[in-house]
Amino acid sequence: MNLHEGHRQRLKDRFLKSGLADFEDHNVLELLLFFSVPRSDTNEIGHRLLKKFGSLSNVFEAPIDELCKVEGIGIHSATLIKLIPELCNIYHVDKTENITVVNSTNIAGRYFVPRFMGKTVEEVHIMLLDDKKKVIKCEMISKGTVNASAVSVRKIAAEALNNNATGVVLAHNHPGGIALPSGNDIIVTKRIYKALKLMDIQLCDHIVVADGDFVSMLDSGMFESFDM
C-alpha cells in the first residue's frame, strides 16, 4: 500500500470510529471525493471548492456547471456533491412520514421544515386535512425563482375540493432569507383564506420556512385581520 492509499484508509477509519464531528470542512469534501476521484489528491480539490464557493453548504448548493469549473471536478464528482443535500432532504422527510395528524403549529413546523432543506429556489407546498386534522396528502404546488413563486388560488381550491379536504395548511420557504412573512406573503394568504372560506374550507395556517427555522402566520396573529 502506498502512502496515498494509506492516507485514504486512515481518513476512512477515522470517520468510521468518530464520524465527521472533528473533521474540517475540506476533510469532509476530501473523504466524499474518494468515491469519485480514485487517484488524485482530493484534499487539494476540497480546498479549491471551499476557496471558490466560500463554505461547505455553498459547495453543496452550487450549480453543477459551476462545480465542474473547479480543477479536479468532473461530472461524476459534481453529481456526487449534488446528491448529498438531496439525500439529506429525503432522509429527514422520511423521518416525518409517521406524522399523520397535524393539529398544532409545532407539528406543522416539524413536518414542513425538512421538506425545504437544501432548497435554493422558493417552493409552495400544500397540506390537505380532513375534519379530524388527519393528513390526506401533501405536495408541492408551485416552484419559483430565488425570491418569488406564483401561487394559484384556483389550484389550491381545486386540490382541496377534489380531495374532500376541510382544512388546508400552506408552507413556503425563503431561500437565503429569514423565516418572516413578507408583505406580499400576507396579501396572498389573505386572498387564499377568503377564497377557501367561501367553500367552507379552513386555511389552518401558513408556515414560512428558512434556514431550518419556521414561523406560523396563525400564531403570529396575522389571521386575525383576515375577516375584517
pLDDT in tens, the chain (228 residues): 455 668 899 999 999 999 998 999 999 999 999 999 988 899 999 999 999 999 999 999 999 999 999 999 999 999 999 999 999 989 988 988 888 999 999 999 999 999 998 888 899 999 999 999 999 999 999 988 666 667 888 899 999 999 999 999 999 999 988 999 999 999 999 999 999 999 999 999 999 999 889 999 999 999 988 987
Contact 190, 154 (CB under 8 A): no
What Rg do the C-alpha atoms of the chain give, in angstroms?
22
Q: What is the pLDDT of residue 174?
A: 94
Q: What is the pLDDT of residue 169?
A: 97
Q: Could you tell me where the beta strands, DSSP code E, fall in 21-152? A: 123-129, 135-143
- The model carries a pTM of 0.79
What type of residue sits at position 162?
A: N
Contact 138, 171 (CB under 8 A): no
Q: What is the pLDDT of residue 1?
A: 45
DSSP state of 97: T
What are the b/e assignments for 200-217, b being 16+ CB within 10 Å?
ebbbbbbbbbbbeebbbb
Q: What is the pLDDT of residue 147?
A: 65
Give CA–CA dist 168/47, Å, rounded.
Answer: 46
What are the helix and strand counts (H, E) for the chain?
9, 5
